[in-house]
């Protein structure tokens, strides 16, 4: 099994054009906190280690949103304590369970969101490694059998910050924003101990994107009760990089990735 993992990780690093970076497959340890709440957890994330001269020794979990076959057939607890969801989204407000992973939207040109988030994850991962960050790629291929809880718990235990990449389901090209924690959740753990870091990271990413000339929606945030932030014990953000009608060509994705790298540097106090 170990040999197969190494071969697979090498193949993945070739896909990502990151032959020179060491890659290790990492699965979910069911003893980790909240891991028992996940339902789809047999997939593996891949940890890439930066080989620049002065690595930062900071690991960023890059989570390409969606892309889990069967993810909508399973339901998981929205909150670790089983309380009701405060805001609607893919799943209605008031429910206690949500799709383990939703399948995501389809762009107006027919491209699936999951395809674009994966492409974006590869571009961002490469730039982060070049910048000296280590990268935990939650999903490296079309499908990973890790639900939103499993993805979050892996990031909690193997990364220093967690960035989930998404595009929104509106058709306005309204701009980028991050999903901030609703006030009603700020007393529930682990949100209570972490929401300020989520906001600081979210605001930093928005500043970085602004610096690249990316259009920002309103103040760059929208309150949303997400499984990701409800289970995160590290700085954690769901960033929506546009919507169904936004351009997602390679040039745009590169610019968005540069903005995100800038934002991460801002968060950690590095000037880029
Ligand atoms: Zn999405």
The 10s digit of each residue's pLDDT in 139-165 is: 999 999 999 999 999 999 999 999 999
- Is residue 26 predicted with pLDDT exceeding 70? yes
Cβ atoms of 71 and 144 within 8 Å: the answer is no
CA 20 to ligand 1 center in whole angstroms: 31
CA 6 to ligand 1 center in whole angstroms: 30
Angstrom CA distances, 148 to 65, 222, 224, 264, stand at 9, 19, 15, 22
CA 108 to ligand 1 center in whole angstroms: 14
CA 173 to ligand 1 center in whole angstroms: 15
- Number of residues written out for the chain: 272
d(CA 72, CA 102): 5
CA 51 to ligand 1 center in whole angstroms: 31
CA 266 to ligand 1 center in whole angstroms: 25
CA 131 to ligand 1 center in whole angstroms: 26
Average pLDDT taken over every residue of the chain: 93
CA 104 to ligand 1 center in whole angstroms: 5
The domain ranges of the chain are: 2-268
CA 52 to ligand 1 center in whole angstroms: 32
Q: Which helix (H) or strand (E) holds 61?
A: strand 59-64
- Is residue 253 predicted with pLDDT exceeding 50? yes
Q: What fold does the segment set 2-268 form as a domain? A: Aminopeptidase (3.40.630)
pLDDT tens, position by position, 91-109: 788 889 999 999 999 999 9
């Amino acid at each position: 099994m170990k040999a197969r993992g190494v071969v697979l990780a090498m193949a993945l690093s070739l896909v990502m054009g990151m032959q020179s970076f060491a890659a290790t497959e990492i699965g979910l340890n069911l003893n980790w906190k909240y891991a028992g709440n996940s339902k789809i957890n047999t997939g593996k994330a891949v940890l890439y280690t930066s080989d620049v001269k002065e690595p930062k020794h900071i690991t960023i979990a890059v989570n390409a949103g969606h892309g889990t076959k069967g993810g909508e057939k399973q339901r998981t607890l929205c909150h670790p304590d089983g309380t009701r969801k405060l805001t609607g989204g893919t799943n209605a407000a008031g429910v206690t369970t949500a799709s383990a992973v939703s399948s995501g939207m389809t762009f107006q040109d027919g491209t699936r969101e999951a395809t674009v988030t994966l492409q974006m994850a590869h571009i961002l991962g490469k730039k982060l490694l070049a910048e000296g960050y280590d990268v935990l790629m939650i999903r490296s291929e079309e499908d990973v059998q890790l639900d939103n809880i499993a993805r979050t718990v892996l990031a909690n235990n193997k990364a220093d910050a967690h960035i989930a990449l998404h595009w929104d389901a509106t058709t306005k090209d309204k701009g980028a924003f991050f999903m901030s924690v609703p006030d009603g959740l700020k007393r529930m753990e682990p949100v209570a101990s972490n929401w300020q870091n989520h906001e600081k990271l979210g605001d930093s990413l928005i500043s970085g994107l602004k610096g690249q000339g990316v259009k920002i929606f309103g103040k760059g945030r929208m309150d949303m009760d997400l499984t990701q932030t409800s289970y995160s014990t590290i700085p954690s953000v769901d960033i929506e990089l546009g919507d169904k009608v936004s351009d997602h060509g390679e040039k745009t994705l590169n610019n968005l990735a540069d903005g995100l790298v800038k934002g991460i540097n801002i968060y950690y106090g590095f000037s880029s």
